[in-house]
Chain A
Amino acid sequence: MPDVAIAGFAKAPNVRETEGTTNGVEMLVPIFAEVFAQTGLSKQDIDFWCSGSSDYLAGRAFSFIAAVDAIGAFPPIHESHVEMDAAWALYEAWLKIKMGEVETALVYGFGKSSAGQLRRVLALQLDPYVVTPLWPDSVSIAGIQARLGLEAGLWSEKDLAEVAARGTTQDVAELLDTPYYADPLRKHDIAPITDGAAVIVLSTVERAREIVERPAVITGIEHRVDSPVLGARDLTRSPSTEAAGKALDLDGVDLAELHAPFTHQELILRSALGLGDGVKINPSGGALAANPMFSAGLARIGEAAIRIHSGESRKAVAHATSGPALQQNLVTVLEAR
């Protein structure tokens, strides 16, 4: 089976609110152009297209269909979509190349989180019989998760502030001085609401070598899922991330891009993947800097890849999550080879 590499990455400006449509076309047209300029490819060179987005975020059915216009999808293209973060679309595209069905693929994710009330919309990811009808919001569920670790002594509020401080000009003491937003979480513990999009070009390693000097070769990709029943799992751990990590070779990883929309979740993920102090964490700022729904996970993979391209990293791990309280997790290992 052919090895697969990342040959290009582009992302839309991550902003609190755009004027654009929920179908993402305005965000996607420029970043498709950017990634084509970067790779020297044109749409005719792309064998397979795959995207991640959500109808609930857009507030309309089949919302991803209109986004296909941004591709220039006539004559007809070979296309697919996942109703998850586009990191899972990347997995589908990776499989297509692995199976020898295609040589190149373009993966994109987009979401206009600002169109609706994000923390309420996300309640629709929960169990529809006994949980969604209560409309628990994503911040409150994360707060319950954070407190479990705080009270078990697994992390402190200072530990959380230290994670946040990396991306701010404020120091830990200043952050701890701010009031609770939703006890036990402060504003800095919570990813901002972000409109955004991201795109990755994948190809066989041979093809990638023609495009970029140091392709980011995907040497492992695994995803696992934990029970949707929040009370049935230990929320202070991420068994699915642990299991995905165990199935991979993480020896020698020097950089990690972790999709943690809450500060304590970064600590859970670091521990689940066994990342030591020598590993550079989230040089991009991670989801705490910008959390465009349905592309933030894909962007973690892209951010790790461009640091392989640039020589900043030799072996990187990228993580994407989907669902409440780190329910589903996808871990990718990228290497310069």
Chain B
Amino acid sequence: MTETPLAAPLNVGFDYTRSTGPVLGRFVNALRDRRIEGIRGSDGRVHVPPVEYDPVTAEQLSEFVPVAEEGTVVSWSWCPRPLDGQPLNRPFAWALVKLDGADTPMLHAVDAGEPGNIHSGQRVRVRWADEVVGHIRDIAYFLPVDAEDTTPTQPAPPVADREEGAPVSVVITPVHLKYLHSASPEESTYLRGLAEGKLIGQRCPACGKVYIPPRGACPTDGVPTTEEVELPDTGIVTTFCIVNVPFLGQRIKPPYVAAYILLDGADIAFLHLVLGCAAEDVKMGMRVRAAWKPRDEWWTSLENISHFEPTGEPDAAYETFAHHL
């Protein structure tokens, strides 16, 4: 019986950063002054938020129209279990709200407490964020016009670097997504092997090639690799580059060598570091051996091998690895 594939949380995050241009730029800068501006479309309709190009004719638009911060709910749906990042972290309504002076409704949240407190046609008003920065989130949410307003708003979104007094020209939206990442059964075998200091490749049942890490499908035959092959921790450098450029997140001080290592008995190289000699001494065909981290630091990761080091043996002849380049 095969073991369950390994899985682990994968959280990705980045600040989605966009320049605004003249139309959206004007909109977000007005928000920073707690004003809302729409734009007049080719058919005379006022669009809020403003659109850069007419949704019907695609004509470029430029006639800005101030609108009210009160409006009417056109349609809504109840959100009983708010998700990360939504305007409210308690149950609320999503609504299309047509602001007075606008002809198209905008999507936003209404803090209504429960579904019985909201209906289409309801009058609502903007609840501004406690701190406005020039972002759609400056509208924290909407409230029924007569509702009390005592709750502090969530923190403002991050602010793009700008000179004091300068208009907002960039909006930043933090994006954070959570996944459960699963390794394939073949990758799981390999990763579990690493935790025991073993390098386990697998052989394609069709072409006989040995892959490390093993593949969910052989790129030649399209079938999963199956037969396990334990490989030694020695091999050769097939090709390499000397990293001279510093970059964000770099763990080793340049210059250093990133190389393709082809383990003895494998048919595919993988990327790793070659240390233990001067960068300019690394050569194609150079014999290397894994430098393992102390055993108590091992886990299901190729990080268990700190780097590869020259063994001092004679280099492999080019013809022996030419077909692996």
Contacts and interface: CB of A to CB of B under 8 A. Distances in A.
The answer to whether A and B belong to the same complex is yes
B178 interface: yes
Interface stretch (A129-137, A240-248, A265-273, A315-323): A129-137
A72 B218 CA distance: 6
B49 A130 contact: yes
Interface in B31-67: 47-49, 51, 55-56
Nearest to A57: B179
A185 interface: yes
Interface residues of B, number: 68
B120 A151 contact: yes
B115 interface: yes
B175 A137 contact: no
A211 interface: no
Nearest to A112: B182
Interface in B107-133: 107-109, 115, 120
A121 B177 contact: yes
B153 interface: no
Contacts of A28: 217
Contacts of A100: none
Contacts of A233: 55
A72 B136 contact: no
Contact of A29 (B24, B56, B224): B224
B135 A19 contact: no
Interface string B168-193: 00010101011111111101000000
Contacts, number: 189
B277 interface: no
A74 B206 CA distance: 13
A61 to B, nearest CB: 9
A282 interface: no
Contact of B47 (A21, A69, A232): A232
Given A25-B217, A184-B77, A133 B51 contact: no
A227 B47 CA distance: 13
A265 to B, nearest CB: 14
B223 interface: yes
Nearest to B98: A231
**Chain B interface main SS type:** mixed
B75 A128 contact: no
A128 B20 CA distance: 10
Nearest to A120: B83
Contacts of B185: 26
Contact of B95 (A21, A25, A144, A185): A144
Contacts of B109: 134
A5 to B, nearest CB: 24
B203 interface: no
Residue among A56, A231, A233 having the largest count of chain B Cβ atoms under 10 Å: A231
A140 B78 CA distance: 7
B106 interface: yes
B24 A130 contact: yes
B94 A74 contact: no
Interface string A56-68: 1011100000101
16 contacts: A20-B182, A59-B181, A69-B216, A75-B220, A116-B179, A121-B177, A133-B137, A135-B84, A136-B107, A144-B75, A144-B77, A182-B77, A182-B79, A183-B77, A185-B77, A229-B51
Given A21-B5, A139-B77, 6 more contacts: A74-B219, A115-B180, A134-B109, A140-B94, A185-B77, A227-B56
**3 closest Cβ contacts across the A-B interface?**
A143-B77, A72-B222, A25-B216
